[in-house]
Amino acid sequence: MTILQKISHYFQQQADQDEREYYIPSLWDGVEGACRPLKKNPSRWYADLIDRILHQQQEGKDYQQPLSLLHHSEISGGNWTMHSRFYNLFPRMTTSYDHDQDGHVGIATHDTTLSLNGFRETGTFLKSIALLPYLHSLGIDTVYCLPITSIGEDGNRGDLGSPYAIKNQYKLDQFLADPLLPDFSVEEQFQAFVEAAHSMGMRVIVEFVLRTSSLGGDWVKEHPEWYYWIDASRVEEYSSPAFLQKELDEIKLIPHGKGTYHMPDLKFRSLFKAPPQPEEIKVEQGKYVAYTEEGRLVIPGAFADWPPDDPQPAWSDVTYLRMYNYPIDNTRNDYNYIAYNTIRYYDPKLAKEKNVNRPLWDKLSGVIPYYQETFGIDGVMMDMGHAMPAALMEEIITKARHINPDFAFCEENFHLTTSSKEAGFNAALGHVWRDSGKEGGLQYIAKECTRPLALPFYGTPETHNTPRAVQRGGLPHAKCSYVVCSFLPHTIPFIHQGFELGENWPINTGLNFTPAETDFFSKQRLPLFYKSALKWNTGEHLLPFIKHVNMTRNLLDKELPSIDGHFIANNRAESIRLLDPHGGFGHILAFERIDPKHKAERILVVANTNFTHSEEFYLEVDGTHHNSFYDYMSGKQYTFVNSWFSSRLEPGEAIVMRIG
């Protein structure tokens, strides 16, 4: 039996004896309308749910392998991403819930994630399996997980620590195992999650962080030469290095292929010492400390690496890995330090084959193959992949595609660069989150989509590092953004967990916050570091709206003729034409989607990007004459007069019509 089948069998055996009261959100059970807690027999509920998933499997197929290989799909080099709909799952938080209904998640004991009766109330892989039917009902076909690897303790914030403070790339976070399955390891529970997703026709993408490590990483003692070390007596002097203004001006031209590399001054470089030997390292008060001939050494925290004058203080829980080795001369200390030219825009004098930290590169390039062969994942999101050494990224992508030619690589890059596409990436984070809430932001995004773009990008007004969409413009902003991003070319419809619930509390404060917001939220218990749950018990949510948008998109994408089988989900700039509506004070966005080979059939999208007031507009659409067309969003019939029609749209309201 597969692991998922064994788990189903286990729960079936336990069901009749299980008398525990276990509450779940009614949305997890497929109940429509306002969400409320439902009392369940946990073993019976999971047994029945997993049994329904298993019944979707076809006999003789191995659902533990990637979906492309499972269905013998046409190999596209991972470009299936541009035809997908993503849900961003933060497993520890997304499925967090007050299962005993005592008013809070977990208790303050030796294991703060547990309830008094032993339920893990923070998220787990088992509960993520339970969420799959809910996600499938939304129209999701790709689950993208934030990092699920083990978390270091040294310097970590909050009561749970950041999933980006990686203790060991090859080990999973033990707290993602569910105590309801005491005989199954966390690795087996993740295997079951991937198998369940594949059984429902959904792919799994996992985010990996390969250029940094927890300060207390497992590799420190074994390979101290993979880390940077500084004089412990001068820790207070450590921060992002300072440069003269003239130097900064030249350094900032480097990403554009110009400029000049400059080292930090000698005082900063002198903080760093040669890595110690393993036997010189001890653990003191939970921190690694080395005693060498050069004195007492510690591992420094990381800091924002770009721009080179970024004022952020050093982070307390992660450090950069040493990608290159360079002969250490204490009188000069060339390249034995953390700065933009050693960890991001690598100085050509350093980034040579002879300086490659080969054992570290081999370890890092083996991470993704391990998850492919052990768990059958379908793709990865590379945290700051564009900041990795290009040669190392090439090795990583080559090894992964050797195992699965259709393996997808997504990149955390705000810019859609040709170099990323040439490197082998299939999609990028992009910029929708940054622009959608601004005046004219959605218009700007639509205009960008009329240009040939190197990569498709995530169509989402929020991420785990940004304000929530409803924080920027309420539900009208959320709805309008989702419709527009579902019908533009180049965009991958993307739901960040909680978006569909109208969640307004951010996960982290990394991007797009005002200084006042950053000051406020940085003092709060943010979910990236603390126990937290989504507002599952909510009466107002976007679920019916999102389902309707996705159903409409699927219908039109399949029904309308297209040269590549996807009318909407394509990456061709010539498939969009912006229109110029009259009225609306500049807030009305209108565009047509056209297949270049089948111009008689079109989709018209009109949206009010004013999120506080209704707007009236007049619009001419060539070829509509005196015909009437159906709006898939409202169910209304709109009549054109000499190819003109008019309407008043409520804040954030959108029209989607098939013309032809």
Domain-wise residue ranges, the chain: 1-70+84-209, 219-320+323-356, 554-659
Query: pTM for the complete prediction?
Result: 0.96
Query: What is d(CA 171, CA 169) in angstroms, rounded to the nearest whole number?
Result: 6
The rounded mean pLDDT for the chain is 94
Q: What is the CATH number of domain 554-659?
A: 2.60.40.1180
Query: For residue 310, is pLDDT > 90?
Result: no
Residue 297 pairs in a beta bridge with 231, 290
- Which residues lie below 8 Å from residue 271, measured CB to CB, with a gap of 6+? 230, 231, 234, 237, 238, 300, 337
What mean pLDDT is predicted for residues 78-104? Answer: 95
Average pLDDT over residues 479-508: 96
Checking if the pLDDT of 453 tops 80, the result is yes
First to last CA, the chain: 52
The yes-or-no verdict on residue 190 having pLDDT over 70 is yes
Would the pLDDT of 313 be above 80? no
Q: Is the pLDDT of residue 280 over 70?
A: yes
pLDDT at residue number 108: 64
Q: Which alpha helices (DSSP H) does 227-318 contain, by range?
A: 245-251, 266-269
Q: How far is CA 275 from CA 54, 219, 289, 660, in A?
A: 52, 13, 11, 69
pLDDT value at residue 10? 98
**Quick one: pLDDT at residue 522?**
87
- The pLDDT of residue 440: 95
What confidence tens digit (pLDDT) does each residue in 195-244 have? 999 999 999 999 999 999 999 999 999 999 999 999 999 999 999 999 99
DSSP bridge pairs for 381 = 207, 410
- The sign of the CA dihedral 447, 461, 544, 502 is negative
Q: Which long-range contacts (CB under 8 A, 24 or more apart) does 357-363 make?
A: 357/225, 357/226, 357/322, 357/323, 357/324, 357/325, 359/223, 359/226, 360/223, 360/226, 360/321, 360/322, 360/323, 361/323, 361/392, 361/395, 363/169, 363/219
Report the number of secondary-structure helices (H) and strands (E) in the chain.
19, 28
